[in-house]
């Protein structure tokens, strides 16, 4: 079986270093908010070329805390509208509604599945206060255009970078464009911890200070609380794991780009639509997502040939029971994406022979 993503094989490449780092933390006797966290935060800030990184418990909390901090600073109010693409993973929408803000779900660009500046412009109302571009599948959103739009209408831009560690346009990385950005280090993400983990990046000192308190019970000083905060901290063990894995992220991204390049050059089947790449460096290939009208047949064909594939995502947020109030929205581009997408294996530890087998199997698919 060719696995979709073999985490054991990915992490075993670094097993000796990971075990050494883990032992160092165990022996230190200090497990929360210590040197390992500070080191990872500094390392990740250098990697992104951003002023502040704040480690938190997971990617959803990262996004929740950014909106929460903007509210604490009086920059957002209950009911303000936040524009986000309707085909995102549900966490992006949860972060908006968890803060009593209103998600405005818009159709994505049908080629890239990311926000389209023209569609965003037409969704702006007097209540719009923020845009949440989700760099889906690892491709950076059209950030120069979205930043111009935000400037014109005085909107905050918050990036959902959970799938886009290291993606850049002309050297400017994901996580440095908006007022703040949320990253996830869920094990299957391009930079994955060995458990749940996340971070916020920002160049804004004031926002960083508020988030720093909010993630720790709303406190800067033990037992003194200025906000009704959360417990959302990135622990020392996960920080140490992430510092090890960050050193190899660029290499893994290069491998992902090479596998994606082989797919793009060699998958040739009129029944299959390949992903649309705007700019090679802007894509870090968290997922390689193809489209096929006969998706269930294609998935069964891959399965018969011992190739695992997954659907990201089968149900859009506006069709979820949790969002009954959004169920009546009509978003045909988004719904078609959810009906046709299929993610094929993209694992930096895959062998070239596996890549060749997947290409061959896809090219031989017929109905």
Ligand X SMILES: *Cc1c(COP(=O)(O)O)cnc(C)c1O
Residues in touch with ligand X (CB under 6 A): 58-60, 88-89, 91-92, 134, 160, 162-163, 184, 186, 196, 198
Please say whether the beta carbons of 229 and 216 come within 8 A: yes
Joined tokens for residue 105: 């779900």
Which C-beta is closer to ligand X: that of 164 or that of 298?
164
Which C-beta is closer to ligand X: that of 92 or that of 139?
92
Instruction: Find all residues with CB under 8 Å of 163, minimum gap 6, and list them.
Output: 134, 135, 136, 137, 138, 189, 190, 286, 287
CB of 256 to ligand X, least distance (A): 16
Among 158, 162, 97, 156, which Cα is nearest to 135's? 162
CB of 147 to ligand X, least distance (A): 20
Question: Cis ω on the peptide bond leading into residue 262 (within 30° of 0)?
Answer: no
Place of tokens 């085909």: 87
Angle between helix axes 352-363 and 249-266 (nearest 10 degrees) is: 30
CA dist., res. 167 & res. 174, Å (int) = 6
Cα–chain center distance at 55: 15
CB of 16 to ligand X, least distance (A): 26
Angle at the Cα of 21 (from 212 to 211), degrees rounded to 5? 5
Which C-beta is closer to ligand X: that of 69 or that of 287?
287
Which C-beta is closer to ligand X: that of 104 or that of 272?
104
Joined tokens for residue 2: 């060719």
CB of 271 to ligand X, least distance (A): 27
Which C-beta is closer to ligand X: that of 162 or that of 290?
162
Angle at the Cα of 195 (from 346 to 248), degrees rounded to 5? 50
CB of 139 to ligand X, least distance (A): 12
Which C-beta is closer to ligand X: that of 199 or that of 362?
199
Which C-beta is closer to ligand X: that of 21 or that of 132?
132
Question: Across the chain, how many H-helices and E-strands are there?
Answer: 13, 13
Residue whose C-beta lies closest to ligand X = 59
CB of 94 to ligand X, least distance (A): 9
CB of 31 to ligand X, least distance (A): 20
Among 346, 344, 356, which Cα is nearest to 292's? 344
């Amino acid at each position: 079986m060719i696995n979709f993503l073999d985490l054991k094989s990915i992490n075993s490449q670094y097993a000796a270093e990971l075990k050494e780092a883990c032992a160092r933390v165990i022996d230190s006797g200090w497990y929360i908010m210590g040197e390992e966290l500070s080191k990872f935060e500094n390392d990740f800030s250098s990697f992104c070329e951003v002023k502040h990184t704040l480690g938190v418990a997971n990617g959803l909390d990262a996004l929740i805390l950014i909106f929460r901090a903007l509210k604490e600073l009086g920059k957002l109010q209950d009911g303000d509208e936040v524009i986000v693409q309707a085909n995102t993973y549900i966490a992006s929408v949860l972060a908006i509604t968890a803060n009593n803000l209103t998600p405005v779900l818009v159709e994505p660009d049908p080629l890239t599945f990311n926000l389209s500046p023209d569609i965003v412009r037409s969704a702006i109302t007097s209540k719009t206060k923020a845009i949440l571009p989700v760099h889906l599948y690892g491709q950076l959103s059209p950030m120069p255009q979205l930043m111009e739009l935000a400037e014109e209408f005085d909107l905050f831009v918050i990036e959902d970078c959970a799938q886009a560690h290291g993606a850049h346009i002309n050297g400017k990385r994901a996580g440095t464009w908006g007022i703040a950005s949320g990253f996830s280090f869920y094990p299957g993400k391009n930079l994955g911890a060995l458990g749940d983990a996340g971070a916020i990046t920002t160049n804004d000192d004031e926002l960083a200070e508020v988030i720093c308190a909010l993630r720790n019970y709303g406190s800067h000083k033990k037992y003194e609380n200025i906000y009704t905060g959360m417990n959302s901290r990135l622990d020392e063990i996960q920080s140490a794991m992430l510092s090890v894995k960050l050193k190899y992220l660029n290499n893994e991204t290069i491998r992902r780009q090479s596998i994606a390049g082989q797919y793009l050059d060699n998958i040739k089947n009129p029944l299959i639509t390949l992903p649309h790449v705007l700019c090679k460096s802007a894509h870090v290939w968290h997922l390689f997502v193809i489209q096929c009208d006969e998706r269930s047949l294609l998935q069964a064909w891959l399965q018969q040939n011992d190739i695992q594939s997954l659907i990201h995502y089968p149900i859009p947020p506006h069709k979820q029971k949790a969002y009954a109030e959004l169920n009546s929205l009509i978003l045909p581009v988004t719904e078609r994406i959810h009906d046709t997408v299929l993610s094929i294996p993209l694992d930096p530890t895959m062998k070239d022979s596996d890549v060749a087998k997947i290409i061959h199997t896809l090219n031989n698919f017929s109905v």
